[in-house]
Chains A and B, each alone.
Chain A
Amino acid sequence: MPAATDLSLYATPDDDGRLSMDLAVDGVTCGACIGRIEGAVKQLPGIAEARLNYTNRRLHVVWTGGALEPSRIVEALEANGYHGHPFVPLRAEQEEAAEARRLTRCLGVAGFAAMNIMLLSVSVWSGNSSDMTGETRDFFHWASALIALPAAAYAGRPFFQSAWRALKARSTNMDVPITIGVVLALGMSVVETAHHAREAYFDSAIMLLFFLLTGRALDHAMRRRTRAVAGNLAALKADTAHRFAGDEIVTVPAAAVRAGDRLLVKPGERVPADGTIVTGRSEIDESLTTGETARRRVAPGDTVYAGSLNYDGALRLTVTAAGGATLIDEIETLLEKAASAKSRVLRLADRASRIYAPVVHATAALTCIGWLLAGASVHDAIVTAIAVLIITCPCALALAIPAVQVVAAGALFRANVILNTGDAIERLAVADTVIFDKTGTLTLPEPRVTAAENIDPGLMQIAARLALSSRHPLAAALAHEASPRVPFDGAVEEPGQGVRAMVGGVEARAGSAAFCGTPEAAPLPGLSHIYVVHGARAAAIAVAQRLRPDATETVARLRGLGLDVRMLSGDRAEAAAPVAKALGIRQWGAALKPADKIALIEDLKRQGRRVLMVGDGLNDAPSLAAAHVSLSPISAADLTRAQADAVFLGASLAPVADAIVAARRARRLMSENLVLAVVYNAVAVPIAIAGLVTPLIAALAMSGSSLLVTLNALRARRGGAT
């Protein structure tokens, strides 16, 4: 059967008739990879451009239309030891990139203006205390205005637009007081300069914008980075499907499958879309969808769900539903959610600004009235009131939370945790109960060989190296044991039965009992056997779900952190009990339907608990949504991963505990920063009301408080490991 791979779904044409494709590349480890990858791709015919972005591990390829099959690019990478996974760049991501560029441009303009105005301002401050003439000062002030007004008009747009949107929606956010402060400071400075005043606030207004833009650009960069990683992981996981085009079979990305398509699912592959079996019989593993570890026998007419693993026989199915469960939609929802996610404290900060803005504006108004009553001139009273507004501009307050979030997300990233939602950090910090799913969460996603010590090591090696030639899911578990990882020459796989090869002149077989001609071992729950024969030697190798290597330590550590650890499984009680016992989890439940899990979580919530749910199966997705905060391993079903607040990588369970430690530290720093911002205001506002704030004091106070808050946030860096 010819099996071509059709990747044309991923190739996008441009105006010059050229095609381009983006690939997430797996296996990029060092600088030398850049040259090797680009070199390999450039040797293909018709390639116009190949550039690897080392930061986000993505390769962009442009070639002349028709010159080359896109699959050749993947093959070229494969030949050099890299895995390339094409993907369609999401529109949300492109918009993000444009927004990031806009913020950086604004930051550059604000930085330029702040530096040059400060140059002039310092001259004025020192001139004011020596012998500067009035004409020179006016010249310096007008020069400042010349820089400040256009720069503010350009660099302030992100804040002005956001404030305008908020006001139009009849609400207020942090950007409203910022905008009012900046506009009034600039307006007053122009008027003062026209009246040959000694002081102007151009530098304060621009510096304020510069600091705020820094915070915003950092926040944005952090979110883009985690998003790029999430996008790559999704591309790495993207499944393919074998679709019948007439009698021929074409391999297409699972995303290209439509309802009504006829597909072939080979043994060892995951079912790419929901469908009905037309021909073929097999056993399928639905642990990713239901948590059930026992396999289900399927026959023509049965329905199979996307994500199930096909074990024994080839299946032909008609797709009933492609959308909904397939990857692209889920990435979209995942990313949309990530985009709309804003920290709860950020939202709290927005709510605080609803109180904050009126308080600040009332204080300014009262200052003005107070000075008028005290007999000051109208001009002096207004200048003092505006000084109050400038000094209270929520610079430190607006940096307090994003700064911590950026640093904490970086620390979590290094601890192999990727955030999906912005406010996950805070919700993680307050969790007091952890509920684990069993299959794929406490246990490794794939089965592993157990009790290997009971098998003759020589025979085990033969079995393991035979398994390297098999596509059967259980064989993957056995193949882990092989060293060297070299398959036997001439090994032949009999689909659904096993593998045979000549080893040392004698035939060796590994596979089912019937295939090896050995008696079946006694069936045990949760245990599967692979049989192996080599001459007179024979053995039954047990394969079972195994706990993650550090599951016991992590559960103990979570308890040490004061968390109540529980387990809820969709699997049978006899499969769940040994796991609970091994981990010392006293409160556990088994054979639970998704609705049961939700009911138990709701119960805990009513008791005032904040539940952290850790799960991977499709059946866990609703419980993840119901819980206060949720985590899932990267091997989880797509829908589940999209539902989780954060995703952790690798075979280790430690990131769960690491995430909680880092989140608690981040939350403490956020509160500290908010307190610092309040203390700053408590000190600075009376000085401003007293009319003692000069532009010099304003500059020192604003940069001092922003610096303090940022430095405090950097302490979250140490949150990753303990």
Chain B
Amino acid sequence: MNVLVYLVPLALGLGLAGLFAFLWALRSGQYSDVDGAALRILDDDDVQGTG
């Protein structure tokens, strides 16, 4: 059962990583235009480097 001593913190760490990824996405505005994001991915204008 000693394996739990590092498995549980590891699981928590992974969960926390997910949480921080979510908070980062929220802060950087990834959820402010959910419909547009689905369409922007089809747009290949950025290939020419206008961005």
Interface residues in chain A, defined as those with a beta carbon under 8 Å from any beta carbon in chain B = 30-32, 34-35, 39, 42, 52-56, 101, 104-105, 108-109, 112, 115-116, 119-120, 133, 136, 139-140, 143, 147
Contacts and interface: CB of A to CB of B under 8 A. Distances in A.
Give chain A's interface secondary structure class.
helix
Contacts of A133: 1
B36 A108 contact: no
Contacts of B45: 35, 39
Interface in B1-51: 1, 4, 8, 11-12, 15-16, 18-19, 22-23, 26, 31-36, 39-40, 42-43, 45, 50
Nearest to B39: A31
Given A31-B42, A143-B12, A147-B12, A54 B33 contact: yes
B9 to A, nearest CB: 8
Given A31-B39, A116-B12, A136-B4, 18 more contacts: A30-B39, A31-B43, A32-B43, A34-B40, A42-B50, A52-B36, A54-B35, A55-B34, A55-B35, A56-B33, A105-B23, A105-B26, A108-B19, A109-B19, A120-B8, A133-B1, A143-B12, A147-B12
B3 to A, nearest CB: 11
B36 A35 contact: no
B18 A112 contact: yes
Given A104-B26, A105-B26, A119 B19 contact: no
A145 to B, nearest CB: 13
The 7 closest A-B pairs by CB, nearest first: A54-B36, A31-B39, A112-B19, A53-B33, A55-B35, A108-B22, A116-B15
A84 B32 CA distance: 20
Contact of B43 (A34, A109, A120, A143): A34
14 contacts: A30-B39, A31-B40, A34-B43, A35-B43, A52-B36, A54-B36, A55-B32, A55-B34, A104-B26, A108-B19, A108-B22, A112-B19, A139-B4, A143-B8
Nearest to B16: A112
A118 to B, nearest CB: 11
Give chain B's interface secondary structure class.
helix
Contacts, number: 59
A143 B12 CA distance: 9
A116 B17 CA distance: 12
A336 to B, nearest CB: 24
A55 B33 CA distance: 5
Q: Which among B16, B35, B36 has the highest number of chain A CB atoms within 10 Å?
A: B36
A52 B31 CA distance: 14
A104 B31 contact: yes
A30 B36 CA distance: 10
B12 to A, nearest CB: 6
Contacts of B1: 133, 136
B19 to A, nearest CB: 4
Nearest to A143: B8
Contacts of A56: 33
A624 to B, nearest CB: 33
Contact of A108 (B4, B11, B23, B50): B23
A39 B4 CA distance: 55
Contacts of B18: 112
Nearest to B18: A112
Contacts of B34: 55
A54 B31 CA distance: 12
B48 to A, nearest CB: 11
Contacts of A30: 39
A139 B40 CA distance: 48
B36 A53 contact: yes
B11 A116 contact: yes
Q: Which among A30, A34, A109 has the highest number of chain B CB atoms within 10 Å?
A: A34
A39 B35 CA distance: 19
B11 A119 contact: yes
